[in-house]
Amino acid sequence: MKKHNFYAGPSILSEYTIKNTAAAVENFAGTGLSILEVSHRSKEFVAVSDEARALIKELLDVPAGYEVLFLGGGASLQFCMVPFNLLNKKASYLDTGTWASNAIKEAKFFGNVEVVASSKDSNYSFIPKNFTVSPDSDYFHFTTNNTIFGTEMRYDPEVGCPLVADMSSDIFSRPIDVSKYDVIYAGAQKNLAPAGVTLAIVREGALGNVERPIPTMLDYRTHIKKESMFNTPPVLPIFAALQTLRWYKELGGVAALEKINLEKAAILYDEIDRNKLFKGTAAVEDRSIMNVCFVMNEEYQELEAEFNSFASAAGMVGIKGHRSVGGFRASIYNAMPKSSVEALVATMKEFEKLH
Amino acid sequence: MKKHNFYAGPSILSEYTIKNTAAAVENFAGTGLSILEVSHRSKEFVAVSDEARALIKELLDVPAGYEVLFLGGGASLQFCMVPFNLLNKKASYLDTGTWASNAIKEAKFFGNVEVVASSKDSNYSFIPKNFTVSPDSDYFHFTTNNTIFGTEMRYDPEVGCPLVADMSSDIFSRPIDVSKYDVIYAGAQKNLAPAGVTLAIVREGALGNVERPIPTMLDYRTHIKKESMFNTPPVLPIFAALQTLRWYKELGGVAALEKINLEKAAILYDEIDRNKLFKGTAAVEDRSIMNVCFVMNEEYQELEAEFNSFASAAGMVGIKGHRSVGGFRASIYNAMPKSSVEALVATMKEFEKLH
C-alpha cells in the first residue's frame, strides 16, 4: 500500500532526491564507488558541494557578502554558535516554542538576553505581536516555523536590528529577504536532505565583533574560509541536498513552491475547519503551512486513538501529534505531494461518516 | 574495471554495508519509506540505534559505567568538547600529527595544556616515546593513528592518569582496554560509516567535575541522558554503522580484524621494503596498519607522477599522499579486502619491471 509520509522530521523527501541518492549509493558520478565511501576532496564531490551552495544562493537570492555553509551538529548546535559569534552586549529573542526556548537558554551562557515576548502561557498556540526590540540589540532571534505547535511567521520582521532566524522547518517554502539577516540556519531534515547536515547562511560582515575566544569549530569564519571543508563534511546528506535543490529549481524556485504550499495547506485547514470531528490548535492567523496541528473536537475526544489507527490503516504515517500538543500533526513539507494531502482529507471525511 | 578504494576518509566500506544501505534508501525495514525520510523516533530507527550502541559495547568490551554516543559535528568538534567537559586544571597532550596538534590548539582555550612530547620537527614520522605525564593531569590525550603520517600507537599507554583518545582512523582495528579511558572518540568515516556521525564512548564518572558552564549541545551529559536523541541524530550514517558492526561481529570481532589487518599491512610494507623504487616514510616500529605512507626512493623521484597515473589506470583510487608528506598513501582500513592490497602490490611490481 502507498504510504503517505507526514513525519515532522526527518521527513518526506522528493522521489527525485531519493531515486538519485539510491543510485549514488550504488555508483557515484561514474566513479565506480559508492557516495558512502568517496573522499570529500574528490573532484566529483567538490563539484557537488559547489553546485549545492551556488543553487542555495540562486534559489534564496542571497546577496553578495554572505556565505553558505554546510555544518554538522544540527540546528541545536547553532543555538550556541550564534551567540558565540554574534552576542556582544545584548541579544533579543522571541519565544514561540520549544526550539525558540532552547535557543534562548543557550544564549544566556553568553550575555544579556532580552526575551521580547512569549506565548508560552498559551502553550505556544500563537505568535506574539506588537513587541518591541531594544535598538541596541546585537540581533533579534526568532524561529520562523514552530514544528511542534504549528505556528509560522511567514515574513521578515522589521525590528530595528539585524535578524537571526532558525528556519529549520520552513526554509525554501517561500521567498525571504536574506539582506535583513545576519544568520539564517536550518537543520536539513525537513525541506532539504536527510538528517546530518545543517545549512547556515552567514553575513561575513557580522563576524569578528565579539571579544571572547571562539573554539575553531564553533567559529563561522573557520568554515567560511575553508568553504565548509575545514573538516570532513557529511557527504551523503550534502549530495541529497543537491538533488532536492535541483528539483526546486526545476519546479520554478521558492515562489512556485510557496504557491503550491499555500494550496496544500488550504486543502487541509479547510477540512479541519469543516469536519465536525476536528479542530485546529494554532491561532488561525499564525497557522503554519508546513505543520498542521489538530485535535479531536471536545465531544469526540474519545475517538483520538481510533482515528490514529484508522489513518494508519489508510497508509498515513507519522500523524500522531507531539506530546506537547497531543492530537495530530500532519507535516506537509515541500516534498509532500498534493495527492497525499488529499488522501488525508479523504480519510478524515470517511472517518467523519462513521461517526 | 574493478576500483580499489584507498581513500584516507571518507573511505571504503564493506560491500555488506553498502548493499544494505542501498536497500534501505529504497525501503527501510519494511516501512515502505526510505531511510532518508523516517523519523529518528520511529520504532524501527530506535531499534537501529539501540542495536548499534549495544554492538559497540559488545565488540569493544565496554565496561559498565560507560555510555556510547552518536554525535554530530565530526571528531574536530570533540577537540573542544573534551576539554569543555574534562579539563579542570591541566591536561597533557601528545603531539603526533596534524589532528593531535589541532586538538592541542582547542584545549588551550580551556586551561593549562602540557604537551609532553612532539615529533613535529621530524614531520611527525615517528611516535615520541619515553615522555612523562604530570600525575596531576586531568587526562592524557593522544591520537592512536595518524592518518596523514602513517604512524600508529597500537596499545593503551600507561601514564598515571586517565586516557582520552582520538581513534578516528583505527577504531575497531584491534582490541582496546576501554577501562583505561575517560573518553574515546572517532569520526565514523574510516572504520564505521559514511561521514556525518561521530562515535564517543564516555565514562560517566568523569563528567560533572568542571566549574565552567557548558552549552547544552557540548555537554556529554545531555547526550547520555537522551541516549543520543537530544536532537535529531544523523539517521543514515547510524544505519550504515549498524551494518558495519554486524559485519564485524560476523567476522569474529576486533581480534579477528586485527589479525587480518596485520596480514594486509605486512603484505604492503614488505613490498615497499623490497621494491627498489619505493621507501616508507614512517619509523618502522611505529608503522600504521591502517594508512601506509610511502614515497619514491631518491633516485626515482621523477617517476612519482608516472606511478600515480599507472596505478590509477590499474584501478587504484585515492593513493596520492597528503600534501604534508607527498608521495603515496594507501589506506587499508578494516573493509579493504586483501585482494585489493595484493592488486596494489602487483601494480608496484609491474611498475618496477618497467624501470
pLDDT in tens, A52-88: 999 999 999 999 999 999 999 999 999 999 999 999 9
CB contact under 8 Å between A9 and B105, yes or no, is no
CB–CB of A3/B33 below 8 Å? yes
pLDDT at B8: 97
Show which residues of A are catalytic: 99, 166, 190
- Of B71, B114, B123, the C-alpha closest to B92 is B114
B247 catalytic, yes or no? no
User: Band of the pLDDT at A112, cuts 50, 70, 90?
Assistant: very high
Residue B166's H or E segment, with its range, is strand B163-166
Q: Active-site residue among B95, B138, B182, B190?
A: B190
Beta-ladder partners of A166: A143, A185
CB contact under 8 Å between B232 and A187, yes or no, is yes
User: Band of the pLDDT at A302, cuts 50, 70, 90?
Assistant: very high
CB contact under 8 Å between B37 and A11, yes or no, is yes
Residue B171 CB partners (closer than 8 Å, separation 6+): B144, B184, B186, B190, B191, B192, B199
CA atoms within 13 A on the CB side of B98: 13
- Collapse the DSSP code of B301 into the 3-class scheme (helix H, G, I; strand E, B; otherwise coil) and give the result: helix
Residues of chain B neighbouring A324 (CB-CB closer than 8 A):
none
A195 touches chain B (CB under 8 A): yes
List B residues 196-255 in contact with A (Cβ-Cβ < 8 A): 196-197, 213, 215-218, 230-237, 240
Facing residue for A196 by CB, picked from B3, B26, B196: B196
Residue B240's H or E segment, with its range, is helix B235-251
Cell of A152: 509560522
Determine the Cα–Cα distance for residues B38 and B50; give it in Å rounded to an integer: 16
**Any binding-site annotation on B76?**
yes
pLDDT at A301: 96
CB–CB of A90/A134 below 8 Å? yes
pLDDT at A127: 98
- Collapse the DSSP code of B46 into the 3-class scheme (helix H, G, I; strand E, B; otherwise coil) and give the result: helix
**Residue in A with minimal Cα distance to B187:** A232
**Residue in A with minimal Cα distance to B168:** A232
CA angle B59, B64, B66 (to 5 degrees): 80
Determine the Cα–Cα distance for residues B146 and B62; give it in Å rounded to an integer: 24
Q: What is the mean pLDDT of each run of 10 residues along chain B (355 residues)?
A: 94 97 97 96 97 98 98 96 97 98 97 98 97 97 98 97 98 98 98 97 97 96 95 97 98 98 98 98 98 98 97 97 95 98 98 97
Homologous superfamily (CATH) of A4-12+253-353 is: Aspartate Aminotransferase, domain 1 (3.90.1150.10)
CB contact under 8 Å between A33 and B215, yes or no, is no
Residue A192 CB partners (closer than 8 Å, separation 6+): A171, A172, A186, A199, A241, A244, A245
Length of chain B in residues, anyone? 355
For residue A171, pLDDT beyond 90: yes
Determine the Cα–Cα distance for residues A134 and B89; give it in Å rounded to an integer: 40
**Residue in B with minimal Cα distance to A37:** B11
What is the percent of chain A where pLDDT is above 70? Answer: 100
Chain-wide mean pLDDT for chain A?
A: 97
Q: Where in chain A is the domain with CATH 3.40.640.10?
A: 15-251
- Of B321, B115, B153, B168, the C-alpha closest to A41 is B321
Q: Where in chain B is the domain with CATH 3.90.1150.10?
A: 4-12+253-353
**Domain B15-251 adopts which CATH fold?**
Aspartate Aminotransferase; domain 2 (3.40.640)
pLDDT at A274: 98
Q: Active-site residue among B166, B182, B219, B286?
A: B166
Beta-ladder partners of B70: B199
pLDDT at B1: 83
Give all strands of the β-sheet with A90-95 in edge-to-edge order: A66-71, A198-203, A181-187, A163-166, A140-143, A90-95, A112-118
- Of B213, B183, B212, the C-alpha closest to B198 is B183
B348 touches chain A (CB under 8 A): no
CA B345 to chain A, closest CA, distance in angstroms equals 21
For residue A1, pLDDT beyond 90: no
**Residue in B with minimal Cα distance to A320:** B42
DSSP code at position A62: P
Q: Which residues of A are annotated as a binding site for L-glutamate?
A: 41
